[in-house]
A = this chain, B = another copy of it.
Amino acid sequence: MAVPAEQSAQTGRPTRADAVRNRARLLEAAARLVAQNGVEHVTMDAVARAASVGKGTVFRHFGDRSRLLMALLDQAEQGYQASFLTGPPPLGPGAPALDRLEAFGVATIRYLLAHRELGLAAAPPPERRFCAPPVAVRRAHIVSLLRETAAAVDTELLAESLLAYLDTALLNHLVHRRSIPQERVEAGWRDLLKIARSSG
């Protein structure tokens, strides 16, 4: 029971609005599949079936499975980014920089662990680990807050070290392989900020 795409009255061809709508429908179907069966069962085929479209349509919209998973994560990523860029303090603007950094680390640990299956499955290849857009946004945020603290440390390098702690693969290793409670991992983030506090 394939749902026909709306078409432009002039050309008879799908419009840009159709494409946006169809992409959203495919993402909804994929998100449903992840929730139901786990990310390992989400294939291009399964998404096509769930959205009642041909497999070719899914490939046309996303290119490959990894990009589809990244697009799924992108929806959550937008909400997460909004929370620290424009949300209420202490995560958003309006609180002292160190309080914002503390809230940011805790929020990031929770966000990454909550989406860890998708995050691990959509992880970029090693050479792009430090350049992926979500990582670049986190880096810029940490650097800008560290500069506000005027801590007597190398801001850029401390940012890399803090950023390395906020890594899905590391958090997954700590919490799900070594069974370290998530609260303890969050407290570990506060420990790291002592560098900025003690020398500020």
Contact = CB atoms under 8 A, between A and B. Distances in A.
A153 B187 CA distance: 10
Contacts of A21: none
| Number of copies of this kind of chain in the complex | 2
B194 A130 contact: no
Interface residues of A, number: 32
Interface of A is mostly: helix
A161 B157 contact: no
A160 B170 CA distance: 8
A151 B199 CA distance: 17
27 contacts: A123-B126, A127-B169, A129-B169, A130-B173, A130-B177, A154-B184, A154-B187, A154-B191, A157-B180, A157-B184, A157-B187, A157-B188, A158-B188, A160-B170, A160-B188, A161-B164, A161-B165, A161-B192, A164-B164, A164-B165, A164-B170, A191-B195, A194-B194, A194-B199, A195-B195, A198-B198, A198-B199
